[in-house]
Chains A and B, each alone.
Chain A
Amino acid sequence: MSYSRLTVKFQSSIVLIAIVALTVALVAIYKEVSRYSQAHVTLATASLQHSNSAAEQALLEALESKARSIGRLIADASKDMILSYNLRALQQFQNDAISDRDVAFVVFLRKNGKPFLRDSQKELPASKMEVKLPISVGVDTIGYVLVGMNTADLEHKAEVNRDAMNKLIDDVDDVARDAQWSIVKLIVVVTVLLLAATLAQVYYFFRSMILEPVNSLREVAREVQQGNFHAKVEKCPNDELGVLAETFNNMIEALSATTYSKEYIENVLRSMGDMLFVISGSRQITMVNPALLRKTGYEEYDLIGQEFDKIFPDKTTVDEIVGMLTHNNEIVKFDTCYRCKSGALLHVELSGNYLRTSGKMFGIVFAAQDITDRLAARAQLEANNRQLENSNRQLDQFAYVVSHDLKAPLRAIANLSTWLEEDLAQQISGESRKQMDLLRGRVNRMEALINGILEYSRAGRINASLEKVEVAKLLREVIESMPVPPGFTINIGDGMPEFITAKVPLSQVFANLLSNAIKYRASDAGRVDITVEDCGDHFCFSVQDDGPGIAPEFHEKIFVIFQTLAPRDQIESTGVGLSVVKKIVEEQGGRIKVISATGKGANFVFTWKKNLNRAQAA
């Protein structure tokens, strides 16, 4: 349901028309009522008149009846007088008869109609009612008696009645007129009230539909002017003003968004650490942010309006940048330089993008980061890497030196002690000979330790070329190269895989684990079970022995280099083997753990990746 301004006007017109119509109707009603009351008055008058004449008629009839009675009496009584022709008596009788108030005259007529008495012919009063009755003897009519009745009273009565009736009619007429007047007053009052109501309504409509929204709009407009973008035109009737209000609100919103986003962008640009500038389509700098000015030392007026070439060190760079924008439509993290105001070069990582509005290019924005620190860090990293490589080389060198230079004196000691023993064979006692043996034993241990260090340092650098490995075959080869005591069983489980991996490291892991199992066997009748389980992207190998086992508190320690659990005099061990195993397994991307308890044998479980990528293998 939509009210429009037009609707209001239309409504007002309708109300006016209604008022006019109502007035017309009321006037019509008034007319009808007037007519009706008039008719009523007429009717009442007629009715009254009618009843009046009826009464008159009744009186006349009664008078006539009286006249007839009197006539008959007179006729009867007068028969003899007439027969006797006693005119005197007749005269007397005639005079007596008119003594009645109602009787105006009595006249005796002959058969021919002539009066018996002369005088009676002359002075007959006028009468409105006359009765002529025959005077009969037998069948013969001897004359007539004419009785005239006095009707003056009757006429007087009728007069009085007419007066009363007229008064009544006048009264009715008055009442009708009063009623008409009242209706007129009513009409006037109703009309005035209706008019007032209509005016009030029109005012209300005008006020609520036009004045208030317009005022509200004006208020809001003033607030917006003062910068309050939260202002909103509250009442939104669904008509032209409502549409206007909504448009106004939308405008405020858009204005606020524009203003906010402008401020927002300006704040962001001002606070961002990245250097930023915008060029127009004609390559002139149109905007720079403070970070750019701060880093390059330029003032805003040095750059605004200038060709953007100014900020780059040379034409080659500019050409390169333009080329990138032309071919790739953007510049992504391009390492280049800015020329500072001082002429110094600033290393930056530059990104550039076209600015478009509705698909139309209007500029290019360049954002750059100062990468001086990053370059320094990179240089530092490279230096560190070089140092690390150097360190590794030195470590290699160290291992080499250890292997040669430390071993040489050891060998000399061993040799010299042997020669001494040989040359002095006759002189030295059994005790000295035993000491010589101990001396050479320690030399051997020292050599083993040195070899252990070499082995450990080499463990990560052994030739790890990938090849197809048949694990069962590899295990058989490893076992063959070991001094397995008679009666000792090494069982290779079913399902040993065949896969491409680094053969030498895997072989070395098995060799070390198996040699440990043999070395620390509980008896020569020991047994080792090698099993495998497919664990998705890797294999889980297990080397389970039935040896003395390892107490849980040492499970970590056994994998640390030079850690042994038994005195070296009892079991000659360098404590390198398991540390080498751990190092190899981990470098190949796997893990190793031992499941064991004292007296329960030891189960070394390690994982080995199925698909070793070359980077890890290298």
Chain B
Amino acid sequence: MTKENFSILIVDDDEVDVLNIERAFHKVKIVNPLFRARDGLEALAMLRGQNGYPQMQPPPKIVLLDINMPRMNGMEMLQELRADPVLNSLNVVMLTTSNEEQDRHDAYRLNVAGYILKPVVPAKFIEAISTLNQYWNLIELP
């Protein structure tokens, strides 16, 4: 991620989880600009520049998406994204506590780039983010 300074959108309603991600990014030295939405509706508004939100320009290359959120959950937002002709190719990585088979199945059917379970112990999360960083550095994003 460091090679290209693209922005990352985190969609999560939990302050601590967001902090956790930020801390982990900081630890593994990811410096990409981070945007944050608290639910699906806010995220969509930011991506589309609606409801008084400035449109993210350029759009984020990666969306870290929680599932369980108020108003519009991650799965609903993912469906919206895939139905949107402009936003349908966004890279979405699920970052969630849900270990439900159904959720995983639904997510991959909607073409997510990955499905990561939020670990309880912080150390494991840092490990995960580090691996993710290496992966992103390895692959070429559109």
Contact = CB atoms under 8 A, between A and B. Distances in A.
B14 interface: yes
B97 A419 contact: no
A407 interface: yes
Given A403-B99, A404-B98, A412 B14 contact: yes
Contact of B16 (A415, A444, A454): A415
Contacts of A447: 120
A405 B120 contact: no
Nearest to B123: A418
Given A405-B68, A408-B17, A419-B23, A414 B122 contact: yes
Interface residues of B, number: 21
A414 B121 contact: yes
B120 A410 contact: yes
A416 interface: yes
Given A411-B17, A412-B17, A444 B120 contact: yes
Contacts of B17: 408, 411-412
B63 to A, nearest CB: 19
Given A419-B23, A444-B120, A447-B120, A411 B98 contact: no
Chain A: number of interface residues, binned into ranges = 20 to 34
A412 B13 CA distance: 12
Contacts of A412: 14-17
A414 B120 contact: yes
Contact of B122 (A400, A408, A415, A463): A415
A405 B98 CA distance: 10
A484 interface: no
A403 B97 CA distance: 7
A443 interface: yes
Contact of A407 (B20, B120, B121, B122): B120
A447 B117 CA distance: 14
Nearest to A440: B121
Interface string B115-130: 0001111110000000
B100 A411 contact: no
Given A414-B121, A418-B122, A407 B16 contact: no
10 contacts: A404-B67, A404-B97, A407-B120, A410-B120, A411-B17, A412-B15, A418-B123, A419-B19, A444-B120, A454-B99
Given A400-B98, A412-B17, 16 more contacts: A403-B97, A403-B99, A403-B100, A404-B68, A404-B97, A408-B97, A411-B16, A411-B17, A411-B120, A412-B16, A414-B120, A415-B20, A418-B123, A440-B121, A444-B121, A454-B99
Interface of A: 400, 403-405, 407-408, 410-412, 414-416, 418-419, 440, 443-444, 447, 454, 463
Interface of B: 14-17, 19-20, 23, 67-68, 96-101, 118-123
Closest 9 CB pairs of A and B: A412-B16, A404-B68, A418-B122, A404-B97, A411-B120, A415-B20, A407-B97, A415-B122, A414-B120
